[in-house]
A and B are shown apart, each in its own frame.
Chain A
C-alpha cells in the first residue's frame, strides 16, 4: 500500500526501443527509480538522450515499458482514470494549425470530459495565465515556437490537474517567458499542485525544483533535495576587490583560483583563515567571503564526468 504522500512512484523501469529492420533494440531506460512527493516540484535532469522523455511517456501511458512498476496516486496504473487527474506538456508541442487556441482548448476540454461552460471560463483563464490571452482567437499557423510552447502549457493546465508532467517546460521561451514559467510553477505548487518536470537546463531546475533526480543513460545517478546535494562540499569563496597574483605562493595548498582574472579564490574550510591571512598580508583587499554552494553543473560534472554530457552512443 502506497502512502498518500507520494503522487508518483516508479520502480525498476525498463524500456528498450525496437531497433527496426535487422537492427538490435536499444535500451533507453535500464532500471529507473523515481519518487515524486505530493506538493513538490521535482526535476528530472539528464543530458540529451538520458531517457527523460521516455520516462514521462511511460508515466502518461503513451509507451509501454518492458518491465517495472508505476504507481500514480497510490494505484498501479497508467490508464485513462489516472490521467483524469493529470496534465501533460509533451516535448516540442505541436497543434493543428488551422485551429485557434480557443478552439483547440475547447476540443481538449471535451476530451477531458469538462462541460462547455467550464471549458469556456477555464480556457480564458489558462490562456491569460501563460500570457496568450490576446492571441486566443488567432489561427496558430503564424505562431512562433515559444508561443506554441505556451499553448502547450495552457492545455496541460486546462482541467485543473493535481499532478503536472512537463517535458522541458521552458524550452523555446525567451528570458522573460522563462521567468514567467518559473513564477507560474511556483504559484501552482503553492496552490498544492505536484509537478514533475524534465530539463537539461541546469539553471532552470536549480531555480524551481525542491528535489531532483539525475539520470544518465537510462539509470539513476543521484536524487534528493537540491540543498543537500549542493552543500555537500565544505568550501569557501573569497572575492577580491582587485586582481592579484602576488599572494599565490603564500596561499595554502587547497586554494585555487576560481576565475581567470584572479579575483576569486576557492579554499577549503580548514585553510580559510590561513588563506585570508596570506591574502591580506600581500596587500590584497577582500570584498566578500562566503560558503560555497556548488552549481548543478559542477555537481553533474563531478558525478558523471565531462564525457557524460556527450550524447550516449
Chain B
C-alpha cells in the first residue's frame, strides 16, 4: 500500500476513535427521526418536508465533519509531535497532505452513506416511497464538503483549529450568498468604488456554493427542475476545480513549512 493510502487510512482509523464523530452522527439521526414532529399545514407536503429537512440536516452534518476534521488534523499532529515520526519516513509532504485530504473525504462519504440509508429507510417506512434518487443530493453535499475540507486544510497549515473553523465558515457563508449579495454589491453604483472592487474580485474568485445545493429540487422529487447527467458533471467540474486549486496551494505551502 503506498504512502497516500496509508495516510488516508490513518484518518479513517483516527476518526473511528474520536467520540465527536459518533456524537455528530447520532445527533443527526435523532434529528432526522424527529422531523415528522414538525407542524405542517398540508398532509400532502409531509414527504417533501421530511426529505428537505433531512437533506438540510445531512448537509450540516457533512459540513461540520468536514470542517472539524480539516481544521484539526494538521494542527493536532503538530502539537502532539506525531508529524515528526511520520514525516521523517521516506514520504513527501505532498503525500501526507493528499493522503489526509483523501482520508477526510472518505470519512465524510462514509457518514453520508450511513445517513442515506437512514433517510431511505425512514421515507420508505413512513410513506411507503422508495426514493434512491436522493443519492444525487448527498453526492453534491459530498462535493461541497470536499471544497470545504480543502479550505480548512489550507488554513490549518498556518492557523489554529478555531481560526480555521471561523475562516471556513466565512468562506461557506460568502460562497452561498455571493450569487445574490456580492453581485448586487458589485453592480450597485451607489456603493463606493473600493467596496465594488472587493465584491467584484470575491464574486469572480469564490465558487458559487449555492449551485452545489440541490436539496430543494431533490426534496420535491425533481418535479420542477430535474438534475441530469450534464448538470451533475458541471457540478463535479466546479467542485473539482476549486478543490484542486486549494489543495495545490495548501500542499505547496505545507511542503515549505517548518515543522
Q: Do A and B bind each other?
A: yes
Residues on A facing B (Cβ under 8 Å): 17, 57, 60-64, 79-81, 83-84, 86, 88, 90, 92-96, 98, 107-108, 110-113, 152, 155
28 interchain pairs, CB-CB under 8 A: A57-B259, A60-B87, A60-B88, A62-B83, A62-B88, A79-B92, A80-B90, A80-B91, A83-B88, A83-B91, A84-B90, A88-B85, A88-B88, A93-B81, A94-B80, A94-B81, A94-B82, A95-B85, A96-B17, A96-B80, A98-B17, A110-B1, A111-B3, A111-B6, A111-B7, A111-B90, A113-B3, A113-B90
Q: In the assembly, what is the distance between CA of A17 and CA of B257, in Å?
A: 12
Chain B residues, Cβ within 8 Å of A92: 81
Assembly CA distance A94 to B82 (angstroms): 6
The residues in B between 233 and 259 inclusive whose CB is less than 8 angstroms from any CB of A are 256, 258-259
In contact, B86 and A111 (Cβ under 8 angstroms): yes
User: Across the interface, do B84 and A90 meet the contact criterion of CB distance under 8 Å?
Assistant: yes
List, in ascending order, chain A residues with CB within 8 A of B188's CB.
Answer: none
Which chain A positions have C-beta within 8 A of B6?
107, 110-111
Across the interface, name the chain B residue whose C-beta is closest to A62: B259
Q: Known A-B contacts: A86-B88, A95-B82, A110-B1. Give 20 more (CB < 8 A).
A: A57-B259, A60-B87, A61-B87, A61-B88, A62-B87, A79-B92, A80-B90, A83-B89, A83-B90, A84-B90, A88-B88, A90-B84, A92-B81, A93-B84, A94-B82, A95-B85, A108-B86, A110-B6, A111-B7, A113-B2
| B86-133 interface (Cβ within 8 A of A) | 86-92
**List of B residues within 8 angstroms of A98 by Cβ:** 17
Q: Are B85 and A108 in contact (CB under 8 A)?
A: yes
- The reply to whether B84 and A88 contact each other, CB–CB distance below 8 Å, is yes
Checking A57, A64, A93, A112 against B89 with a beta-carbon cut-off of 8 angstroms, the contacting residue is A112
**Chain A residues positioned under 8 Å from B256 (CB to CB):** 64
Do the beta carbons of A90 and B1 come within 8 Å of each other? no
Question: How many angstroms between the C-alpha atoms of A64 and B1 in the bound complex?
Answer: 29
For the complex formed, measure the closest distance between the CB of B249 and the CB atoms of chain A, giving whole angstroms.
Answer: 18
Confirm or deny: B14 has a beta carbon within 8 angstroms of a beta carbon on chain A.
yes
| Contact B84–A62 (Cβ < 8 Å) | yes
Interface SS majority for chain B:
helix
| Chain B interfacial positions (CB closer than 8 Å to A) | 1-3, 6-7, 10, 14, 17, 80-92, 256, 258-259
Which residue of B has the minimal Cβ distance to A84? Answer: B90
Q: Is the CB of A63 within 8 A of B259?
A: yes
Q: Report whether A90 and B85 are in contact in the complex, using a CB–CB cutoff of 8 Å.
A: yes
B7, B17, B89, B258 interface centre (most CB from chain A within 10 Å): B89
Q: Which residue of A lies closest to B3 (CB)?
A: A111
Query: In whole angstroms, how far apart are the Cα atoms of A110 and B7 in the complex?
Result: 9
Whole-angstrom CA separation of A80 from B259 in the bound complex: 16
Contact A90 B259 (CB under 8 A): no
Q: A39 vs B83: C-alpha distance in the bound complex, in angstroms?
A: 29
List, in ascending order, chain B residues with CB within 8 A of A112's CB. 89-90
Q: How many Å from the CB of A183 to the closest CB on chain B?
A: 24
Cα A84 to Cα B81 with chains together (Å): 21
